[in-house]
Amino acid sequence: MQIDDRITGRSKIAGIIGNPLEHSISPQLHNTLSRLLGNDLAYIPLRVEKNDLGNAVKGLIAVNAAGFNITIPYKQDIMKHLDVISEEALLYGAVNTVKNNGGKLYGYNTDADGFLRSFREEAGIGFENREVAVLGAGGAARAIAVKIALEKASRINIVNRTLSKASEIAEVINNKIRPAASIFSPEEFEKQNVISRCDIIVNTTSIGMYPDVGSSPVNRAYTFLQSQVVYDVIYNPVKTRLLKDAEGSGCKVVNGLGMLIYQGIYAYEIWTGLKVSESVVKELFKLLLEYWEHAIIREE
Ligand code: NDP
């Protein structure tokens, strides 16, 4: 046994504010990143009750934290506590990363950039001139759908059980970016066979997430076209029912672990000013994938 002196009295801290946090793997992600970079930033879970968000933020300023992440259910609520919010985060209506600069708080959203980098690298294509189906219209959907519009997709079909939520996202895209978004109820989406004209299908719903591993947001009678690329933001299980079905039809499929890792890397870069090299990215992917596959087995 040796003294663990990675964290000392000189170390800076960061963390993740949310509730619940038990299933977050952000602490493992960021602390591994610090170790790979030989940096002493310490990242901790910060479970905060609803009425304490403002106090928690003040506390983090008081201890001169480098910054923090925000997750469910505070990605919107945090915005009123910040001094400056990036243009993209305003468009997405959510902040997941805050940098503390001497008591002045800057808000960013790295989820969309994380999604985009993961999609581009793992699917090997981009969104320009592609027709896309975005399944779901919750928190993850808004940043993803708006990002896809910014990336010049020819059309974005947003499908959601609660149509008013799909409509809110479509309004942002159609009014603030380009009139490229359409909305569908799951029934209409299926009746009009919209999925068959889509080059890319992105699931942002929680359908298929552990323990609901037998369910898919796409009717299982549908046969995917081999040319379609299917992305699922879910990373537990590593391969959802949707991804298994699409893969069975020969499609390129990608899970949400890359999005999770890249949003974390971007946040880390914002706090520290460091640039995470490709070799560190690769090592982090390898370590987290191994870790995650084992963590899932342990949980099940
Ligand atoms: P929200 O609760 O904001 O949204 C959930 C979405 O799923 C809504 O569109 C909801 O529809 C839909 N949905 C849930 N259950 C059903 C159902 N039974 N039938 C039909 N639709 C359903 O969650 P988030 O957007 O924050 O997260 C969604 C998923 O994305 C989660 O699995 C989460 O783990 C994952 N995620 C992954 C990230 C990553 O980095 N890879 C980052 C963020 C999220 P309705 O609006 O009608 O309720």
Q: Has residue 297 got a pLDDT over 90?
A: no
Atom of ligand 1 minimally distant from the CA of 255: 41
| Residue owning the nearest CA to atom 38 of ligand 1 | 233
CA dist list (Å): 45 to 36, 60, 255, 270: 20, 12, 24, 19
pLDDT in tens, 174-200: 999 999 999 999 999 999 999 999 999
pLDDT of amino acid 293: 85
pTM of the shown model = 0.96
- Would you say 146 and 172 are in contact if contact means Cβ atoms under 8 Å apart? yes
Q: Which of 12, 50, 58, 75 is catalytic?
A: 75
Atom of ligand 1 minimally distant from the CA of 161: 47
Determine the Cα–Cα distance for residues 134 and 151; give it in Å rounded to an integer.
Answer: 14
Any catalytic annotation for residue 99? no
Token pair for 80: 């009123």
pLDDT in tens, 225-273: 999 999 999 999 999 999 999 999 999 999 999 999 999 999 999 999 9
Residues with CB under 6 A from ligand 1: 72, 111, 136-141, 160-162, 165, 204-207, 209, 233-235, 256, 259-260, 263
pLDDT in tens, 13-71: 999 999 999 989 999 999 999 999 999 999 999 999 999 999 999 999 999 999 999 99
Rounded to the nearest angstrom, the distance between the alpha carbon of 207 and the centre of ligand 1 is 7
Map residue 257 onto helix, strand or coil.
helix
- Would you say 65 and 13 are in contact if contact means Cβ atoms under 8 Å apart? yes
Bridging pattern class, strands 131-135 and 200-203: parallel
Strand stretches in the chain, DSSP E: 13-18, 42-47, 67-70, 84-85, 97-101, 104-108, 131-135, 155-159, 181-184, 200-203, 229-232, 252-254
Token pair for 72: 């469910």
pLDDT of amino acid 296: 74
User: Best of 203, 205, 219, 231 to mutate for ligand 1, by most ligand atoms within 8 A of CB?
Assistant: 205
Closest by alpha carbon to 265, among 137, 140, 132, 97?
97
